[in-house]
Structure 1
């Protein structure tokens, strides 16, 4: 990659003077590595972190735990670190770090009132709770855990073919252009541009609240790398009376004024620089800016002051939003000119502008709400297009084509197909039906991964291709990094989507596609929730501080035992690790590592029910013996070495690989468990499929990756060598390329010449990662099938490229 960047982000001291850029940073803290303030010791801190953060115990449960702890210590005339939950909470509150307190202000209506029958909302008071964004951003920038994962200036990346390469936010043109404007003020030379990424999503909470409406507000900064971005800060208001037009206008203004008030502290440092510590320990001079505002469609309308069914970013007519004619982008100056020249009704009818709403961004430098609005991928694309449109349209198509009775039979078969899908790490199962009463974002994301194969055979080819193009668009846009070629593919997927979804119009399911993105969308416990969040932030900040001072290396127990050994030289028995079956992918923190696999600990010895095992062992030993030979001899059963020892059988293996587009650690590493167990969670067997790295010379559509079904993990010792292995049943590719309808490769289980399943032993180092296969169901109805039998019941399978984003990138 080639890189071009601005000469910004220079280091300075606390007095705003630039320093030698190679100078070491000042000390992070004067506290010694034995200072656990306000906690008595490490055990006290980790107790709080465990019960409050990880286990989220109630106050009553904390008291019960401490009482039991006291009972064990009375005979030693000792006591636990906390007397009760109140003592624990008071200690958390005393934590000096992460102390950005919640603030609140109250707003009310001050406009014209009717002489009688005054609506309740005009007398109401509306609470807004928030944390000072300036203090929050300073805390983020000072977080030492972000060192190495933050950009100090905008930049542009290019591939070796001289094509643009976008990865993190600061590689985008918007950040580059903003820095250009900031640099026009010579006093800002050497400063660091810090864009604030904002998001909000209206949430209606009905349980014990009477449909109270909240607007959580989220904040991050654009400098942080994608893999470690975190969100924080919240605001809240309580509107109701939605049928009143005057109230709706007041609610819009209330929202705008609240945002302006919340970001008031940041405004002075949007034209001149602030001074604060950065993750590397040095001080820098950040200039802040309002960056992208991520919101779903209804929220975008409130923010931009645009009428329902109009686009908040362009001037396309609301009756032809899907038209192919170019249209102008909305712009703050243009909107203000229209408001000045037109009546309110003309602005509303002809341009979709609500003239009496002024976006809060109008009062901030370099901020135009129409430019800053960014779509909420979850709500507008996944829940909006997939759930609210495409899935519903499939049901409507079946209704139009087959009638109510046959539709029920088809929908039942689709549900059986979905339920029959084999389990996979991180993949949600749908054992009953997918017709949820209320869909969550997780429901939509999970169903997207397996829905395509379930409908093929019951709907026309163009419907399948519509879903395929839509899924491809969703997965490309979610990739951690994009090149110019990726953008071409993204546009191609979008073009194919618009081409094939015409089938829904041709069959009478819909009459027009001029549809804006849609979004479906606790007693008064807000104060308690905010205090809980504040405590969690204090604990996280304390954890980061203790980690930076080297005080959290190893476990609390190992450190305590080490201290005992140092004092009394005691011999300590170290128990063996215990194996744990995990069905969720794991985040692996740390630097980028080479992909690797490992067997789960604590094996058990048993005989394998596989008659050909001795022969397979001989073939494997032969292959391993001549692994480095360029011209190895052929296997000869008469002279082959015989293995007479025992084997240790394992229930799972873990594959670690670099997958930054999925939820992963700070280095982009992810771990998935591959199961091969006779009883999964006390029930039926589970045996997963895998991708096997066969080398560059292996002729396959996926460039060196083969697909196999793991029957067993085991290990054995032969002579002086240790071999961790897997017994696998091989699959072969059916097509030279992807299936043109679904966009997925198709494989079939292979057999030898005499019809015996093609099974062999491989070294686990050959395993790249887990694979997920979905049956090619065809047009026929299927009986109810257990997902554990899925890999036994069919002859053809799709390689599910939508199982996760890493699978999409490699398949």
Structure 2
């Protein structure tokens, strides 16, 4: 399948900035001049003038705020971003005693009154950073800490000095003395209180169950008072609009959804609460196993966050999600494990434990509590139970719903997605209570899926409806559930029965070879053996989703491919960080296509009974979840699973494995204290330089500062240069196999110097004087705004684009592909080309540096994506002599990396095809829009 005689002349139209002549790029549909970042905006806020309802027409508290209330408005061309804050529950600042300030623009009191030289309980910065390094960053064992400090002490004896700590006990004692951050752990015991049976008594009936927890109100106070969250925090529910005219509604963070607004409306009925700040309490629970080899050591952590913190902070794990409890796990002998009495006790243990742990929040749900916020202001806070993060079994437990039923709606478990049945209304707390009062337990169980013999924890708290609060779980419902457990399994179940055992296994092997031959890409997990691995993790499922569709195309019926394509579209759309009415409609359309195409699995006998599956059924509720709580990626169990590592698994590994929970709790408390100390020292400006810099220039005035400026949508910089290449363009061209390189550079230079004129004859082109200024690079770093992907708190993401002849020490090269901007006015992929980078280099001409890339072009096949896979197909460009068409471009034209996967069709890949040869082995390629979410937004 080597490249044939396909010939095409590629003449991309490059545009330049009229202000400075630099070439521009288009990233995700947003025109951006990278050198100057023309997209500037000012931030304001606007108070909502929309009346709430008849009950709120007479609200007059803080009426003057309608003029002074901040508003947000961003100008970008003809587009305006407009934010309407809730007019009553608006988080008006107050004094520490709760008296409203005359104006919300009044400067807040200073966050810290401690001197900027006070490192208490540490003596100096060296002590603090040593403690943080040993205990948090390296997690050094106690014996190794002692050995290191002994060596340190020995090296200082001749100076009559000593190390920061004497031993590990001294280190731990100092951390424990930190007065910030750490909320102490408490515990209570519970046990079965019912009647005991005659004869042998099951062990679970006499056991004592210990629940460890931290006061959730104190944890929330710490979260609210942390200046680390300033600028990433909402004080009021809001509605956000973007676009021309009145704008299109956007859903992002929890406070942008309808649920927070409705909660504020309910609270507004009490005039004593006007001007308060609503604080949604986000909970999450999930069992985790720390070691299978040592006897299934299970722990049951309970996490807490608040809806005021932005999703990107919670996803970046910047202490925005805190462990507040370890629930008890009831155990029983096998002969009693399935008894109705034990299962009831296990459920009641869960709900009673939650009710007890959260009890300190109940008074603050009806009467405001004055708390300090990240911006330094005090506000009257009113708590409310918010979204609950959990996987499906945990969701069923929290909602007291029978497994197999939907916890959001009462659709019959046997007909969850029946095409002739309308979607019923959402389950509601009041309706469930009425049913329990009117019907027998058996009827409730079998006809409604309701478990009626347990008191839910939400019954202890006002305005709490668990059916509404349970958020969609992308990781377990969509990624691991629908994709891994259903679709991938169904494809395998189709191939073997239809084609026979031998041929079916051959086709599965072919799928594995295609997956193994996928070219590398930053962040893409490789599958050397295909998808045939024993244990699947969430990361395995996410990685396989990126490459699975091209692997099955041509080997299974087209409608089967379209089914998975529609599912992937839904999955990638729903995981975006910002949703609009447009994306919600796209979700609706894509879900309809998925339901239509998946009938192929019924028709081929894979699913003869249909699709009454709770996880697939849950897809129908995601649009409402988004309207309620904003983007689902901020409320996904992947956040709690990632937190398991730092709060449970790593502390457990640091323990002596005996009665480890107490050690795990102590480790978590110390980690919290170190994190709080770092935030405090940073807020006081004590950690600006490195520790060594402070030691060298303690008395020197700090001349560094924050440089204000707009966010740059994307940038590309060349990495470290390589010194082993020729120093002339002619010799370099021969070295890399591109003898016309010198002419290509001359063409490039002419266009840079004369952007408005076509190039003249070859002999009139400028001759760059490179010499020592010629530098070669094996990679470049692309930095761009991609909040839907794993990124920093600011949403910025970085990737490396490689062009190296020796990849990982082998003789095989790696030459990545990239998106090249061609039309700043076009949106998405229509404004870009795809090219393969053969070399990064830079040179100087007339004292000006030109960072460049030598690229080989691909052209798009057709005007629309492929009908079956939904992916664009590209082909390599060749000149009339059969050589690849190449061009030198400025690195500013590179948007970011692109990922291509070969189009194999119904042909088999040759055995032994190595992934490093994949980009040379096919005549056509899918432009993989599932490489990550930013690429998907470009190519959607």
Q: Fold match, TM over 0.5?
A: yes
Once residues 157 and 880 of structure 2 are traced to their aligned partners in structure 1, the CA distance between those partners, rounded to angstroms, is 74
Compared CA separation, residues 642 and 3, structure 1 to 2 (3 A): closer
Structure 1 counterpart of 2:789: 662
Q: Deviations over 1:317-365 (max 9, x none)?
A: 1110112322232221221222222221121122111110121101100
SS in structure 2 of the partner of residue 97 of structure 1: coil
Structure 2 counterpart of 1:315: 410
Compared CA separation, residues 219 and 412, structure 1 to 2 (3 A): same
Farther off after superposition, 514-523 or 476-485: 514-523
Q: Does 1:508 align with 2:593?
A: no
Q: Does 1:281 align with 2:376?
A: yes
Q: Deviations over 1:541-575 (max 9, x none)?
A: 11111111111112222332334989xxxxxxxxx
Structure 2 counterpart of 1:364: 461
Structure 2 counterpart of 1:189: 274
Structure 2 counterpart of 1:620: 748
Bigger relative contact order, structure 1 or 2 (CA pairs below 8 A, ≥6 apart): 2
Structure 2 counterpart of 1:592: 711
Structure 1 counterpart of 2:871: 744
Once residues 840 and 253 of structure 2 are traced to their aligned partners in structure 1, the CA distance between those partners, rounded to angstroms, is 39
Structure 1 counterpart of 2:921: 793
Farther off after superposition, 738-747 or 679-688: 679-688
Once residues 95 and 507 of structure 1 are traced to their aligned partners in structure 2, the CA distance between those partners, rounded to angstroms, is 65
Of 364, 367, 373, the residue aligned with 1:269 is 364
Once residues 824 and 905 of structure 2 are traced to their aligned partners in structure 1, the CA distance between those partners, rounded to angstroms, is 33
Q: TM-score, normalised by structure 2?
A: 0.81
Of 713, 716, 720, the residue aligned with 1:601 is 720
1:90 is displaced (CA, Å) by 1.7
- Aligned-pair RMSD on alpha carbons? 2.2
Compared CA separation, residues 28 and 701, structure 1 to 2 (3 A): closer
1:243 is displaced (CA, Å) by 2.2
Structure 1 counterpart of 2:683: 548
Q: Does 1:300 align with 2:395?
A: yes
Once residues 253 and 399 of structure 2 are traced to their aligned partners in structure 1, the CA distance between those partners, rounded to angstroms, is 26
Farther off after superposition, 393-402 or 788-797: 788-797
Q: Does 1:36 align with 2:36?
A: no
Of 515, 524, 528, the residue aligned with 1:418 is 515
1:52 is displaced (CA, Å) by 2.4
Of 740, 750, 769, the residue aligned with 1:643 is 769
Q: Does 1:673 align with 2:800?
A: yes
Aligned 8 A contact 1:622 1:635 in 2:
no
Once residues 793 and 74 of structure 1 are traced to their aligned partners in structure 2, the CA distance between those partners, rounded to angstroms, is 66
Farther off after superposition, 315-324 or 69-78: 69-78
Structure 2 counterpart of 1:15: 97
Compared CA separation, residues 789 and 86, structure 1 to 2 (3 A): farther
Structure 1 counterpart of 2:60: none
1:217 is displaced (CA, Å) by 1.7
Compared CA separation, residues 135 and 68, structure 1 to 2 (3 A): same
| Aligned pairs, number | 786
Q: Does 1:517 align with 2:618?
A: no
Structure 2 counterpart of 1:569: none
Aligned 8 A contact 2:290 2:297 in 1:
yes
Within 5 Å, give how 1:700-739 maps onto structure 2. 702-739=829-866
SS in structure 2 of the partner of residue 356 of structure 1: coil
- Structure 2 residue runs without a partner (length 5+): 1-80, 315-319, 617-636, 642-651, 702-707, 727-731
Aligned 8 A contact 1:145 1:279 in 2:
yes
- Structure 1 residue runs without a partner (length 5+): 567-588
Q: Deviations over 1:654-679 (max 9, x none)?
A: 11111111122222211111122233
Q: Deviations over 1:13-50 (max 9, x none)?
A: 11111113222211212211111112222222222222
Aligned 8 A contact 1:43 1:556 in 2:
yes
Compared CA separation, residues 751 and 68, structure 1 to 2 (3 A): farther
Structure 1 counterpart of 2:85: 5
Within 5 Å, give how 1:58-73 maps onto structure 2. 58-73=141-156
Q: Does 1:759 align with 2:886?
A: yes
Within 5 Å, give how 1:524-543 maps onto structure 2. 524-543=659-678
Structure 2 counterpart of 1:687: 815
SS in structure 2 of the partner of residue 533 of structure 1: helix
SS in structure 2 of the partner of residue 310 of structure 1: coil
Q: Does 1:237 align with 2:328?
A: yes
Aligned 8 A contact 1:301 1:308 in 2:
yes
SS in structure 2 of the partner of residue 714 of structure 1: strand
Structure 2 counterpart of 1:150: 233
Structure 1 counterpart of 2:200: 117
Farther off after superposition, 87-96 or 113-122: 87-96
Aligned 8 A contact 1:648 1:714 in 2:
yes
1:771 is displaced (CA, Å) by 1.1
Compared CA separation, residues 199 and 31, structure 1 to 2 (3 A): same
SS in structure 2 of the partner of residue 753 of structure 1: coil
Aligned 8 A contact 2:779 2:802 in 1:
yes
1:499 is displaced (CA, Å) by 0.8
Structure 1 counterpart of 2:551: 454
SS in structure 2 of the partner of residue 415 of structure 1: helix
Structure 2 counterpart of 1:573: none
Once residues 406 and 62 of structure 1 are traced to their aligned partners in structure 2, the CA distance between those partners, rounded to angstroms, is 59
Q: Does 1:784 align with 2:912?
A: yes
1:639 is displaced (CA, Å) by 4.6
Q: Deviations over 1:249-295 (max 9, x none)?
A: 10000000011011111111111111111001110111110011122
Aligned 8 A contact 2:493 2:606 in 1:
yes
SS in structure 1 of the partner of residue 838 of structure 2: strand
SS in structure 2 of the partner of residue 452 of structure 1: helix
Aligned 8 A contact 1:464 1:741 in 2:
yes
Farther off after superposition, 405-414 or 394-403: 405-414
Q: Does 1:806 align with 2:934?
A: yes
Compared CA separation, residues 713 and 48, structure 1 to 2 (3 A): farther
Farther off after superposition, 319-328 or 654-663: 319-328
Aligned 8 A contact 2:872 2:926 in 1:
yes
Farther off after superposition, 211-220 or 172-181: 211-220
1:786 is displaced (CA, Å) by 2.0
Once residues 126 and 713 of structure 2 are traced to their aligned partners in structure 1, the CA distance between those partners, rounded to angstroms, is 34
Q: Deviations over 1:693-735 (max 9, x none)?
A: 123378x982321111111111112221011111111111112
SS in structure 2 of the partner of residue 312 of structure 1: coil
1:638 is displaced (CA, Å) by 4.5
Q: TM-score, normalised by structure 1?
A: 0.93
SS in structure 2 of the partner of residue 680 of structure 1: coil
SS in structure 1 of the partner of residue 369 of structure 2: coil
